[in-house]
Structure 1
Amino acid sequence: MIPRPELLHDLSAACVLSTGATVSGDLVDAVRLALPGLDLRPGDSGEIDVRRDPSLGEEAYRLTAGSRGVEITAGGRAGAFYAAQSLHQLLPDVSYRFSSGASWEVPGVRIEDAPRFTWRGLHLDVARHFFPKREVLRLIDLMAVHKLNRLHLHLADDQGWRVESRAYPRLHEVASHRPRTVTSHYREAATYDDVPHGGHYSLDDLAEIAAYARARCVTVVPEIDVPGHASAILAAYPEFGATGERHEVLDRWGISPAILSPLPPTVEFLVTLFDELLGALGETPYVHIGGDEVVLDHWAASAEITAYRESLGLATANELQAWFLRRLADALAERGARAVVWDEAFVSGGLRDDTIVMPWRGMGVGRRAAAAGHDVVATPVFPLYFDYAEAASPDEPMAIGDAITVDDVAAFDPAPGDWSDAELARVLGVQAQLWTERVPDARTVDYRLWPRACAVAEVAWAGRTRDGFGERLARHLGRLDALGVEYRPLAGPLPWQRRRPHRTGQVRVRDTMARLEEMTHDAESTRPSV
């Protein structure tokens, strides 16, 4: 089973479960939703009985399968849903297909289980390449199978804006598409495909995605990355930029100097957009506001922005960035949502105490954020950036660099033993990132995510991979086959998954991590006090 439960004991007696079986008890809907192919029916008594036990945590459960059928006790709806996912993994792979009239033996087993972390996430960048609603809903289904519960959607970047705005319609009319996309590798002479790329979600789409996710115990975390990464926004509304000049939606990758203005009209503009997002998504406890890779040159060069900074009593542009992000976090807090940021925002200082930090540049900066009293979600490039290739091989599809393997992910420790108890208490969980500069379609999403995301699921649920992970993963691939996932085979890509690009400019992930750690230490030493 993946993730493997905390306690799993074999019992001698077994039972039989058939499609159309009856499920009874307190949390019937959660169990039925977790086993869609079995066409379970509610009833007063049945082969599966579910009961709520308030003494258990919301996501905790106990499951017993034996001569009396299947008995589930759960702390809440999520616990019942996860118990049913574990029950599903006791059945043959074919049970993940719709098999009308089939019957399967459920081995006798007793399971007691609860997650180590509350945040078990996947990030999907839909700004660099857009993925339609059907692909997002499918990803939610796959997350649910693996007990992953946070879907971080990167909705805005230099290369595209991906959500309807009724207040500012040029965002989805202008900023949601680009005329072409760069196809060359990092550091190579630029070549382009000359094919327009675009798309966006309507607010109704977002409402549907959020409701679909909630039903499957997944929370959608939207990200609008500010004040940098703003080329697409400023292609639609240049008046909210630091210079007022019109930008183009970028057709290439890398860091752009395009930056939003920190002046009050821009804050009001962003708060209006947050209101639209929150209105569509409904119960959304988190909003990611980015704060990474910001080029502050245009702020420093603007007399109006400099005067505004001085009127606030701030000494530097870095302090102004910290003020700007805090003002947005305050607005979100007023609306019942916590701000989430990348680690550069923490290094700049001045965050609200309840802001969650994602330390992508390494767990060193994550530890400093935790020591400063911020909750953190482990997101380091190594081993949780899945835009890196799974192997240092010319057969791998084009990636930013190599290599992050399944074994690398499985060995990751999100709660290092040398951290203090207070620091460890700040670790909310784990999240893998799929940036999509070099992920142009849904088949490549499957290839990049799976089976590495299986290892993420176990680390996030259990705190580490448990015994026999490699053998269990090999067995689990049959379930992915039944679910139609075009994962990367453990032995390497299939012939049609291979690509042989020029490898000029390819970087090693460990070299990248060493440089990022150096950067965060340098930034920490010059961090202003706000």
Structure 2
Amino acid sequence: MKKLFSLALALSIGAAVFAQEKKDATLNIVPLPQQVQIKNGTFKINANTKIAFDSEEDKKVATLFQDFLKSNYSLNLSLVKSASSNTIYFSSKNAKSTNAEAYELNISSDRATISGKAAGLFYGMQSLIQLLPVDKKASIEIQQASIQDEPRFAYRGLHLDVGRHFFPVEFVKKYIDILASYKLNTFHWHLTDDQGWRIEIKSHPKLTQIGGYRKQTLLGNYKTDGDYDNTPYGGFYTQDQIKEVVAYAKAKYVTVIPEIEMPGHALAALSAYPELGCGDKPGPYTAAQTWGVFDDVFCAGKEETFKLLEDVIDEVIPLFPSEYIHIGGDECPKTKWKTCPFCQKRIKDNNLKDEHELQSYFIQRMEKYINSKGKRIIGWDEILEGGLAPNATVMSWRGDQGAIDAANQGHDVIITANSYGLYFDHKQGPDQNREPLSIGGLSTLSKVYSSDPMPSKIAENNKKHVLGVQANIWTEYIGSSNKVEFTVLPRVLALSEIAWTQPEKKNWKNFSEQRAANQLAKLDQTNTF
């Protein structure tokens, strides 16, 4: 990992910048807080320092900070329920803002006080952690300061595709740690795709028994190479493991949103239940062994398709407290639908114009079912085609036109477009020959940082529908946890800042030469979160 991390660092910021000393008086916090007042002097943390808290909810965050100091600085500080001198104090009773994620951090000569509601205390703790010294053997002195902070956007997300390549639970937890460290609050878990079905569904066990595995995997670029590794590949998460991850994320104030792809990207599911493909005698199918978009999708004309997907939703919903279920909706070729008697009958019986309206029928039917269970859907921006489902939230990935159209129609949107640099599986430096094989594209640190996820063509009264921003990691060419970390770092730092900080406060020079460089120095030293 060290080698890949150093490469990412050099590509994105540059080794010379990484070595520079502090340039100005800004505190080394990412994302940049909304208001900072730096004062004279420091607060020293030593073996006699206590960690105080108000409520049992506050104690949860205080305990996280206690654990961090113990594991990273070999300090085992006591927890107490009343603040005094030489104290780090977590206080919800002194919260002033109505924003649940807002916090204040006041550091004086003898005390550091974090005020806010539960999530705010957690984010204040993250800011305090970032102020700790890079050298973990040095005395711990923190700059005296006063910070008032709250996020720009309510939705601040990072996605991980585990369909193309599977990642173990322990790494998924580490990934959640990365999000939480930089005040991202949503983990979009892409659990199904053509190459693998990764979530246990007890009513339909073949989804993982068969659909969770593929015979082999393509080596090299899927457009130019034709060699395979001749090695079976697969894996899936049990429902108990899903619960474990969701609980872990909740403790870090991260919401997990599952994605179950439909009606396209369905080959893994069809390999398990081929009768759900188009035609009288569909299949046989196998989970995809290469990348791309495939013509074989769920048959929209068969009731059995909806029965299986409703059964899946019935098992998914209890596992995820999130108000949202992501149902994909992207890259669904209509080739098989055009010649399928079942799909054509569905079009005729429902007075639909064409296959695009058939996809809209599919999405709206699933939305109605999911809404009846008390949840809302998110879909990629293709769900706009043929008519948008009434209560759907659009995840705009093909530029920002989908976001503009949806928001101006009164629908909530999330910006996640590759034109904003938000596809982290794209290469991140101008010298792309130095990087591992990727799907292509270029998403530099500066491109991510310069993005403003508020399209100007959205009417002023509809900008409230922009919930926030997310970066995506598709894993066609990312087969190891080390490579995932390489794609995330350091671009997640820029993502966190465009998601949290007001755009007029951003400063690329300060970010790249000081604050991000300081964060990366810590990561380079420890290689842990």
5 Å-filtered alignment, 1:83-232, equals 83-94=124-135, 104-232=140-268
- Aligned amino acid, residue 104 of structure 2: R
**Which residue does the alignment assign to 1:337?**
375
SS in structure 2 of the partner of residue 166 of structure 1? coil
Deviations, residues 86-111 of structure 1 (Å, cap 9, x unaligned):
1111111355xxx8xx8512211100
- Aligned amino acid, residue 28 of structure 1: K
- Aligned amino acid, residue 412 of structure 1: S
| Cα distance, 1:34 vs structure 2 | 4.8
- Aligned amino acid, residue 3 of structure 1: P
Task: State whether residues 425 and 487 of structure 2, in contact with CA within 8 Å, keep that contact through their aligned partners in structure 1.
Answer: yes
Counterpart selection for 1:325 from 353, 363, 368? 363
Pair 1:269 & 2:308 matched: yes
Counterpart selection for 1:300 from 338, 360, 365? 338
| Cα distance, 1:418 vs structure 2 | 4.7
Pair 1:50 & 2:90 matched: yes
- Aligned amino acid, residue 362 of structure 2: F
Q: Which runs of 5+ in 1 are unaligned?
A: 487-530
5 Å-filtered alignment, 1:423-434, equals 423-434=462-473
Task: State whether residues 18 and 38 of structure 1, in contact with CA within 8 Å, keep that contact through their aligned partners in structure 2.
Answer: no
Pair 1:25 & 2:67 matched: no
- Aligned amino acid, residue 346 of structure 1: L
Counterpart selection for 1:457 from 496, 513, 519? 496
Q: Which runs of 5+ in 2 are unaligned?
A: 1-28, 71-76
Task: State whether residues 117 and 463 of structure 1, in contact with CA within 8 Å, keep that contact through their aligned partners in structure 2.
Answer: no
Find the aligned partners of 2:502 and 2:486 in 1 and give their Cα distance: 25
5 Å-filtered alignment, 1:125-524, equals 125-243=161-279, 244-262=282-300, 263-281=302-320, 283-352=321-390, 354-382=391-419, 383-393=421-431, 394-464=433-503, 466-467=506-507, 468-471=510-513, 472-484=515-527
SS in structure 2 of the partner of residue 151 of structure 1? strand
Find the aligned partners of 1:234 and 1:417 in 2 and give their Cα distance: 42
Name which of structure 1's ranges 232-241 and 36-45 shifts more when overlaid on structure 2.
36-45
Task: State whether residues 357 and 385 of structure 2, in contact with CA within 8 Å, keep that contact through their aligned partners in structure 1.
Answer: no
Task: State whether residues 265 and 294 of structure 2, in contact with CA within 8 Å, keep that contact through their aligned partners in structure 1.
Answer: yes
- Aligned amino acid, residue 50 of structure 1: F
Percent identical? 36
| Cα distance, 1:72 vs structure 2 | 1.7
Find the aligned partners of 2:91 and 2:315 in 1 and give their Cα distance: 38
Find the aligned partners of 1:417 and 1:294 in 2 and give their Cα distance: 29
Deviations, residues 109-140 of structure 1 (Å, cap 9, x unaligned):
10000000011111101000100111100011
Task: State whether residues 323 and 350 of structure 1, in contact with CA within 8 Å, keep that contact through their aligned partners in structure 2.
Answer: no
- Aligned amino acid, residue 325 of structure 1: I
RMSD: 1.8
Counterpart selection for 1:37 from 42, 45, 68? 68
| Cα distance, 1:54 vs structure 2 | 6.0
Residues 55 and 345 from structure 1, CA distance in 2 versus in 1: closer, same or farther, beyond 3 angstroms? Answer: same
SS in structure 2 of the partner of residue 259 of structure 1? coil
Task: State whether residues 53 and 62 of structure 2, in contact with CA within 8 Å, keep that contact through their aligned partners in structure 1.
Answer: no
Deviations, residues 205-236 of structure 1 (Å, cap 9, x unaligned):
00010010011010111101110111100000
- Aligned amino acid, residue 260 of structure 1: F
Pair 1:11 & 2:39 matched: yes
- Aligned amino acid, residue 112 of structure 2: V
Deviations, residues 302-328 of structure 1 (Å, cap 9, x unaligned):
222222222222221211110111111
Deviations, residues 165-219 of structure 1 (Å, cap 9, x unaligned):
1110011111111111111214213111112211100000000100100110101
Residues 482 and 28 from structure 1, CA distance in 2 versus in 1: closer, same or farther, beyond 3 angstroms? Answer: farther
Deviations, residues 11-69 of structure 1 (Å, cap 9, x unaligned):
22432224673222231212332553224543122412222226431000111010240
Q: Structure 2 length normalisation: TM-score? A: 0.87
